Amino acid sequence: MLEKVQEEVKSLMIGNNDGHGFDHVERVFRQALKFAKMEGADQEIVGLAALLHDVDDYKLVGAEAAEKLLNAKTIMAKCKIGAEKANQVCDIISHMGYSKSLKGIRPSSLEGKCVSDADMLDAIGAWGVIRTLAYALERCHGCADKIFAEDVWPELNLTAEQYRRPNRKSDNFVNHFFEKLFRLKDLMMTQSGAKEAEIRHEFMYRFLEEMFRESNNEQWLAYLRDYAKEDIKKSCI
């Protein structure tokens, strides 16, 4: 059953190169199943939700269509997924995503927590850096200000509405670390996810530190280190 769904998702998403393609789905699928085993969750539900979690993403189909989950429902019907399982999967998907987390919308089931953690983890660490850069380049065809604008500082603690605001001046590759990626480790919902998030979080910090060091940019190095100090303070509260 999972193989059939996997093939349907692959045919739908193949060719997407903005960081939300099938390669992302495969990594989330593998990581979510690993968490399911570690946390004792239903692997079938976790696998289905992980495979289908992005087929109706608002960045791909638009905000209005995303709420209806038409692609996910169509694929599950085609693969003869029972109504009870399909409802569980839709409930998980409808409660996932960073923008929704800013509104307090989070998965409640253990299965949903495993998938949510796996999805957010793919936004951080080495692959997270690659995906963020790919997305920036896809939108601007290589324009430098979408990678790093030294005089444009991050907008911290954005609301869901502010985060999704189009043409936001601070929206670039480097600022994305501060506006979103560095916040994700605190949104983990399983012990397994939290442990992995710490490793990936540290990698991202070292990546930016080296980037600013190579640029001899003392101002941004200081900003990064001050940000890290505040991050440690919050973790200790």
Residue 104 · residue 95 · CB < 8 Å: no
Task: Say whether pLDDT at 156 is over 70.
Answer: yes
Shared domain check, 158 and 58: no
Structure tokens at 124: 């951080």
Same domain, 96 and 129: no
Q: Are 93 and 105 in contact (CB under 8 A)?
A: no
Residue 222: inside a domain = yes
User: Which pTM does this prediction carry?
Assistant: 0.91
Number of domains in the chain: 2
- Claim to verify: residue 180 and residue 81 sit in the same structural domain: no
Give the C-alpha separation, 89 to 168, whole Å: 33
In this predicted model, what pLDDT tens digit does every residue of 132-154 receive, in sequence order?
998 888 777 656 678 999 999 99
Tell me what pLDDT residue 93 has. 96
Based on the fold, state whether residues 135 and 97 are members of the same structural domain.
no
- Measured between alpha carbons, how far is 231 from 175 in angstroms, rounded to an integer? 16
Question: From CA 225, how far away is CA 140, in angstroms rounded?
Answer: 29
Residue 112, domain member (yes or no)? no
Report for 16-30, 65-79, 117-131: range of highest mean pLDDT: 117-131
Whether residue 145 sits in one domain with residue 91:
no
Does residue 115 sit within a domain? no
Give the contacts of 191 (CB within 8 A, at least 6 positions apart): 39
Q: How many whole angstroms separate alpha carbon 166 and alpha carbon 178?
A: 18
Spatial distance between the Cα atoms of 52 and 37, rounded to a whole number of angstroms = 19
Q: Is residue 56 part of a domain?
A: yes
Collapsed DSSP state (helix, strand, coil) of residue 97:
coil
Rounded CA separation 35/188 (Å): 12
Residues 14 and 46 in one domain: yes
Say if 109 falls within a structural domain.
Answer: no
Are residues 75 and 169 part of one domain? Answer: no
Domain coverage including residue 157: 125-236
Mean pLDDT calculated for residue range 42-61 = 91
Q: What are the tens digits of pLDDT across the range 4-36? A: 999 999 998 876 655 568 999 999 999 999 999
Domain at 166, CATH number = 1.20.58.1910
**CATH (domain of 12):** 1.10.472.50
What six digits make up the tokens of 160?
Answer: 């869901």
Same domain? 92 vs 141? no
